[in-house]
Chains A and B, each alone.
Chain A
Amino acid sequence: MPSPYNDIVLEHFKNPRNTGSIENPDGKATEGSPACGDMVSLYLNVDPETKIITDIKFESYGCASNIATGSIITELAKGKTIDEAKKITWKEASEALGGLPKIKAHCSVLAVEVLRSAILNYEEKHGLITSKEPTTEEIVRKRLKKVMNPIKGLDMVATHLVKEIEIKDGVVRILIDLPENHQFANSIKEDAIEKIESLWDVDKAIVEFTD
């Protein structure tokens, strides 16, 4: 069958590992992307002494690359400590799957995100989190690194789409180096707004285009 997905991806898509939920998990999170509508939930149990992830389950309301990445990320994280698991990157997950189509990167990034969010949720619940810091250009930039540029299959910071960032009175203005009527302008905009508006001290994110 001619497919944009390789055999490893298709195998994980057909037979996803560690699916389902955990009752009363130690940590859990849900991530959704308005850009493509996919959603993924992840549940963790962590050994309180060793901080090793002893059980992990995921659920996906998403496309093939979302399901396959959810499957691989749970395999990669299981048996690791939460500090090790936090460091698993999208690149590692994608490599473990033998590569994903570029345009599908943003659907799979969610599955990586959700693991970090579930660990954060565990840390917050168990008093392992330091105090909140005010949003800076650096923090905004870091967040935008999670927004995929579907043209390149890399994030919007790495592909130089972010031209300007302005932070003032809880409003973050982002200028993106794309024409407003570009094929992907809308999906990038929605994704960026979602990532920035979830910051604790940001009331509103405004995305503008250069053309």
Chain B
Amino acid sequence: MEKVYYMDNAAATRLDEAVLEAMRPFFFETYSVATSEFGYSLGIEARDAMEDARGRLATCLGADHDEFIFTSGSAESSNLAIKGVAKALGEKKGKHIIVSKIEDFPVLYSARTLEKQGFKVDYLNVDEFGFVDMEALEKLMTEETILVSIQHGNQEIGTVQDLEKIGALCRGKGVLFHTDATHSFTRMPLDVRKVPVDLVTVSAHTIHGPKGIGGLYIRKGTAISKIMDGGFQEFDLRGGMDNIPGAVGFAKAAELVTVEENRRLREMRDKIIQLVFDQIPDVILNGHPSQRTPQNANITFHYVEGESITLHLDMHGIAVSTGSACFSRSLEASHVIAGIGGDHERAHGSIRLTLGRFNTMDEAVFVVETLNKVVENLRKISPLGKEKE
């Protein structure tokens, strides 16, 4: 196979072999469901493995073992956090929730679904870097507010929010706080003993773990109702078959991320941004220069369209994504770029490069070289940007 330069690690990552090895026994040897302690040996072994994985993932967040439940991924975790809290508190306390404008779709559309059911939802503005408006947040919270959901690291532009400040604000008003940490988990520090956050969405698919497993941290005592009926799995908060290989793989994946690796990703990210700005004229960095997840670079190339760029890059074996409407399933331009005040044009030529464990500095250099050629060729045939020549 031709060499692939995969820089779409925010969408999905290559599984780490060590994760597969950790999972393997739970497909072929300890393949039973997790039973209670009164079950058969195989089931008890399976249960122990699952509980061990749970404990280790909870520890990554500074949480207790019984504050972490497994789900099918970040979409389900955020659905449960938002709809589960709404179900528990909607009638009792109030029907108002606040989310930021640049949340990922599971949060945004869970909020919209609640809106249709009679909840009031405020979509909080962000500034040019993607930071939420703290003053507006404080003003928006009322007696009726039951939940604030603001992400940790943004999925497209990587902007990292100040969760401590947001959490403190919510705590002060007695409002629950959920954060979607899909794109920051293990990549950025998040300790629930220091940060007053009540619910945290995490997933394995962004950290070289298996697809189809995620988790939700739920602080002890948080009012939440289950939305997936089934057995009594996951402390009776999420019915459904235990995904034991997934849970074991998730814990292994989290364990494999190191401070050193995150430093290496940050170096590659900064190299890409620096090379682009050195070599290619008329570009803008989307997001904040330093307050961003270590794996994310997002750059707009003026006068050219994103799908054309990605298609040319694909012909060179490079996989990246774009916020252009032409690339999306809904034909809508990126709501994140729009949220930070970008116009259609800024989304039209935006390219997101997200790094992972298997990328190298040589790849980063090759990708920028290729980008430079592709953008130059597309600009030659563009009706825009010519007046300066």
Q: Which A residues contact B (CB, under 8 angstroms)?
A: 1, 3, 5, 13-14, 16, 19-21, 30, 34-41, 59-64, 66-67, 103-104, 106-107, 150, 183-184, 186-187
Contacts and interface: CB of A to CB of B under 8 A. Distances in A.
B383 A16 contact: no
B326 A61 contact: no
B187 to A, nearest CB: 31
A37 B330 contact: no
A5 B308 CA distance: 12
Nearest to A107: B326
Given A36-B331, A38-B305, A59 B326 contact: no
A37 B381 contact: no
Contacts of B380: 19
Contacts of A107: 326
A60 B383 contact: yes
B42 interface: no
A183 B383 contact: no
Nearest to B112: A181
Contacts of B241: none
A38 B383 CA distance: 11
B311 A37 contact: no
A187 B330 CA distance: 9
Contact of A59 (B329, B333, B383): B383
B325 A35 contact: yes
Contacts of B308: 13, 62-64, 67
Interface stretch (B88-96, B155-163, B344-352): B344-352
Given A61-B303, A61-B304, 4 more contacts: A19-B381, A37-B347, A38-B305, A63-B308
A67 B374 CA distance: 14
A38 to B, nearest CB: 7
B383 A30 contact: yes
B291 to A, nearest CB: 28
Contact of A187 (B304, B311, B324, B325): B325
Interface residues of B, number: 29
B182 to A, nearest CB: 23
Contact of B326 (A38, A183, A186): A38
| Residue of B303, B306, B325 with most partner-chain A CB within 10 A | B325
B326 A41 contact: no
A34 B344 CA distance: 8
B332 interface: yes
A36 B326 contact: yes
**In the complex, the 4 A-B pairs of residues with the closest C-beta atoms, listed nearest first:** A63-B326, A59-B383, A63-B307, A41-B383
Interface string B326-356: 1101111100000000001101100000000
| Residue of B308, B330, B348, B381 with most partner-chain A CB within 10 A | B381
Contact of A63 (B303, B305, B345): B305
Contact of A36 (B314, B315, B325): B325
Given A37-B344, A39-B383, A41-B383, A63 B331 contact: no
B115 to A, nearest CB: 10
Contacts of B329: 183
B127 to A, nearest CB: 24
Taking chain A's interface residues, is the majority helix, strand, or loop, or is none over half, making it mixed?
mixed
A1 B344 CA distance: 30
Nearest to A148: B331
A61 B383 contact: yes
6 contacts: A1-B314, A39-B384, A40-B383, A59-B382, A62-B326, A67-B381
Interface in B159-216: none
A183 B382 contact: no
Contacts of A64: 307-308, 311
A63 B324 contact: yes
A30 B384 CA distance: 11
Contacts of B325: 35-37, 187
A30 B347 CA distance: 21
Interface string B346-389: 01100000000000000000000000000000001111101000
A107 B345 CA distance: 15
Contacts of A35: 325, 331
Interface string B22-53: 00000000000000000000000000000000
Nearest to B345: A37
| Residue of A16, A21, A62, A67 with most partner-chain B CB within 10 A | A62
Contacts of B345: 37
